[in-house]
Homo-oligomer: A and B are copies of this chain.
Amino acid sequence: MSQSASLLDRLRARQWRITPQRRTVAEVLHGDHVHLSADEVFAAARRRLPEISLATVYNTLNELVAMGEVSEVRAGAGVTRYDPNVHIRHHHLVCTGCGAIFDVRPEGITGLRLTGPDRHGYSVDEIDVVFRGRCPSCAPSPPARSLA
C-alpha cells in the first residue's frame, strides 16, 4: 500500500539540493492518496514554514514533475492537482461536484490499446483514464444545467 521510500528519501537519493522549502513541500506531499492544488500545497507548507513563498512552491512542484517524482492531475478546467503516488500504476475518479479525487485501479485497463490506423503513427507513452461522476455527498446527479 505504501511507497517503499518516502518522497523525501527519493529526493535525497537523487542528490537533489535539499532546502527547508523543498523539504517542506516534499513532506506536505507525503502519502498515497494526496491530490493537492498548488495553493493547497502552499497553504499547508506555510503552516510549517511561514516564510515560504508561492513562487518557490510552484518552482518546486514543477521540478518534482519534471523529475517524475510527482504527477499532475488535471481534474477539470484550470484545476491542476499534484499526485506524489507515481510508483503504483493507477488512474483517477473525480467528483464533478466537489472535485474530490480518488486513486483507482480499474478493471479491464490492460486490454486498452490503439490499433493500427488509430495509432496514427504515434508512439504511445502513457494512458490516462479519468472516471467522472458524483460522490456520495454531491450525490443525486449533475446540477441539470438549463439550456437553449
Q: How far is the CA of A121 from the CA of B108 in the complex (A)?
A: 19
Q: Is the CB of A93 within 8 A of B107?
A: no
Number of interface residues of A (CB under 8 A): 54
Which B residues touch A119, using CB under 8 A?
93
Q: How far is the CA of A63 from the CA of B147 in the complex (A)?
A: 8
Q: How far is the CA of A73 from the CA of B9 in the complex (A)?
A: 36
Q: Is the CB of B122 within 8 A of A113?
A: no
Q: How far is the CA of A104 from the CA of B108 in the complex (A)?
A: 18
Q: How far is the CA of A128 from the CA of B74 in the complex (A)?
A: 12
Which B residues touch A51, using CB under 8 A?
none
Q: Is the CB of A124 within 8 A of B120?
A: no
Expressed in whole angstroms, the minimum distance between the Cβ of A61 and any Cβ of chain B is 12
Q: How far is the CA of A95 from the CA of B125 in the complex (A)?
A: 10
Q: Is the CB of A111 within 8 A of B118?
A: no
Q: Which chain A residues (44-86) contact chain B, with CB distance < 8 Å?
A: 63, 66-68, 72, 74, 76-78, 80
A95 (CB) vs chain B CBs: closest residue: B122
Q: Is the CB of A118 within 8 A of B132?
A: no
A113 (CB) vs chain B CBs: closest residue: B107
Q: Is the CB of A124 within 8 A of B118?
A: no
Q: How far is the CA of A112 from the CA of B112 in the complex (A)?
A: 8
- Top-9 shortest CB links A-B: A108-B111, A14-B148, A124-B133, A121-B136, A122-B133, A67-B147, A104-B118, A128-B130, A108-B112
